[in-house]
Amino acid sequence: MRLLLLGNEALAYGSLAAGVAVATAYPGTPSTEVLETLEEFKDRFVYWAANEKTAFELSYGAALAGARALVAMKHVGLNVASDPLHSAAYTGVEGGFLIITADDPWMYSSQNEQDTRWYGLQAYIPVLEPSNPVEAYKMAKDGFALSEKLKHPVMLRSVTRVSHVRAPVEIEHPAPPKWGRFTKDVKRFCLVPTNARERKKALLEKWEKIQDIASEYIQTEGSGDVFIVTSGVAYNYVKEAVRRLNIKAVIVKLGIVVPTPRKVADIVDKSAVVVEEGDPVLELQLRSLGISTRGKLNGYFPKFGELDINKVAMGIAKAVGVPYNPPQPPRPPLEPPPRPPVLCPGCPHMATFYILKVATAGLNPVWSGDIGCYSLGINMGQQDVITHMGSSVGLGSGITVAGRHFVVATIGDSTFYHAALPQLIDVVGKSIPILIVVMDNSYTAMTGGQPSPSRFLPAEKITEALGLPTFVIDPVDVKRSIEIVKKAVEIVKNGKPAVVISRRPCVLMAIRKARRLGVQIPKYQVDLEKCKSCGLCYNLLKCSAISKRPDGKAYVDPALCVGCGVCAEVCPFNAFKLEGRKEIWLEIWKQA
């Protein structure tokens, strides 16, 4: 069967063809669709874990017992899983174990650009690098076989332009899942120091062997006296650049980059142009093999962002000494305005931010943010620091302790379970006076709406068990919520921590549900007579369906409004009027 598949879908189908039995992940762009695709297959164990570490542990454990298992995550997710990752090479595995990571060059949807191939080097785990969805399919399938042959975990590094690229892919039927049974072997699986020392010796020997096996994944094409060594998505740009520059070159494409096979030194004649996406991981290894390189290290290709045909053609042209004139982009007749990502119209987080702003007026809080949709609160001036999953409570506590600030830590429900539970224990332990706001929309929404643990474990059960004063609000009920949040603010002002849980499901999920049920979604319109151009709705609330007309009055785009009614609660002049009915809609939304 030939399908137009995303790279991530191809990875899933390749794993199915290899008989994957256990698949786990925590959602994160650009890795999410691997598990989303596998979710359809009910004869396997497929699970969205609380975070990447727990996901890794589930699959690693299954592979120790001989099952074929995979774990998928985005590049920064591997940091969370890095503890078990480093032990995995020491014990090895019994069943095939594939660790899929998706890097995000240019940070389309991430806080940093990290190249996960470094982890392969550091943890002694070989890294496969597919260049397109067809190869992603094949390498996922082969990766299981390789892992099982070596009895060693195998990493597969994708990047945005492999994971989120569609191409025609020929797929086979899924193979039946391969489960396993655990066989005890204390010397191998219990990494107490005496055992671990033995394992490290064995690991180093195995690494040599892996380096030889990596040679089998070298492909060379073309002829000439220029050698271009490349891997992954970069290969595609090299192919087209060589064609465009009309030069004769040998393209050496590596399927396994970590460890870089020694055999490359026999193929290339002392010197090579190196083209790779991310950091110079390949280039440094080539240098250590005695090859002199022209690549990122000496400035032939940019050290950050993603490659394209132009950047690659320009670099190769310079390295080889041929002319290249890139196409001249035309200039638009008008400068386009910036259009940053914003909270969706009707997003419950929009109302929560408004409520928090009003309830903390005069306190000049530090807004300690986190990773998820609510980081878009940055557009409302309500995110002052965002660094990683769980940073809101963790860093927020530090900021509180340092400067007697009033800190509001905003965190989504999925992120709360992913990364904030241990931090809560510290908050309780030192009674740190911080206002923690769990923005519970019942989904991991930024990545498309995967289930979050809040669907079976409400956050207040945890915060109350820890003895934290907890208040639950419904953010579309703006005025009432403000009064409740003020109580929590008082507690924090008196030197104690408090928690607010703002609960209303993601509006996108609610819209989907209403459409399925055939329920009309109401809208609001502005009565221009009543609007006094006060700006409260477009300046403070910032619903993206509302704009400021040239005369200062508000305008609601009817195609964007989803009838949450928050603007109507906020407007002091009653200028928003409802079109349609909203009771049934609000109820469906609440149950979404």
Task: Give the orientation angle of helix 507-517 with respect to helix 583-591, to 10 degrees.
Answer: 120
**Token output for 395:** 């860093």
Residues in 329-368 that interact with ligand SF4 by CB under 6 A = 345-346
Residue 547 contact, options ligand SF4, other proteins, none, Cβ 5-8 Å cut-off depending on partner type: other proteins
Q: Which is nearer to ligand SF4, 85 or 508 (CB)?
A: 508
Query: Rounded CA gap, 395 and 177, in Å?
Result: 43
- The response to whether 347 counts as a known ligand-binding position is no
- The response to whether 561 counts as a known ligand-binding position is yes
Q: Which is nearer to other proteins, 61 or 448 (CB)?
A: 448
Residue 373 contact, options ligand SF4, other proteins, none, Cβ 5-8 Å cut-off depending on partner type: other proteins
CA proximity to 155, closest of 173, 130, 188, 179 = 130
Residues in 143-162 that interact with other proteins by CB under 8 A = 161
Residues in 349-388 that interact with other proteins by CB under 8 A = 373, 376, 379
Q: Which stretch binds other proteins (CB under 8 A): 197-205, 491-499, 540-548, 577-585?
A: 540-548
Range list of H helices, 269-320: 281-288, 309-320
Work out which of 42, 173, 339, 516 binds other proteins, going by CB under 8 A.
Answer: 339
Per-residue binder mask for other proteins (CB under 8 A), 24-53, x = binder? -----xx-x---------------------
- The response to whether 506 counts as a known ligand-binding position is no
- The response to whether 534 counts as a known ligand-binding position is yes
- Residue 35 and residue 72 in contact, taking contact as beta carbons nearer than 8 Å: yes
Q: Which is nearer to other proteins, 73 or 473 (CB)?
A: 73
CA proximity to 164, closest of 325, 28, 363, 14 = 28
Cα four-point dihedral sign 395, 400, 405, 406:
positive
What value does the CA radius of gyration of the chain take, rounded to a whole number of Å? 27
Which amino acid is it at 548?
K
Q: Which is nearer to other proteins, 80 or 545 (CB)?
A: 545
CA proximity to 300, closest of 286, 319, 284, 282 = 319
Q: Is 326 a binder of ligand SF4 (CB under 6 A)?
A: no
Residues in 240-269 that interact with other proteins by CB under 8 A = 240
Q: Is 554 a binder of other proteins (CB under 8 A)?
A: no
Which phi and psi angles does 575 have, rounded to 5°? -85, -15
CA proximity to 107, closest of 305, 252, 298 = 305
Query: Rounded CA gap, 202 and 208, in Å?
Result: 10
Run of H or E including 471: strand 470-473
Length reported for the chain: 592
- The response to whether 571 counts as a known ligand-binding position is yes
Q: Which stretch binds ligand SF4 (CB under 6 A): 311-319, 428-436, 497-505, 534-542?
A: 534-542
Q: What is the DSSP letter of 301?
A: S
Q: Is 572 a binder of other proteins (CB under 8 A)?
A: no
Q: Which stretch binds ligand SF4 (CB under 6 A): 68-76, 80-88, 490-498, 549-557?
A: 549-557
- Cross-strand bridge partners of residue 437: 410, 500
Binding-site residues sit at 531, 534, 537, 543, 561, 564, 567, 571
Known binding site for [4Fe-4S] cluster: residues? Answer: 531, 534, 537, 543, 561, 564, 567, 571
Binding site for ligand SF4 (CB under 6 A): 345-346, 524, 526, 531-537, 543, 545-546, 553-554, 556, 561-567, 571, 573, 575
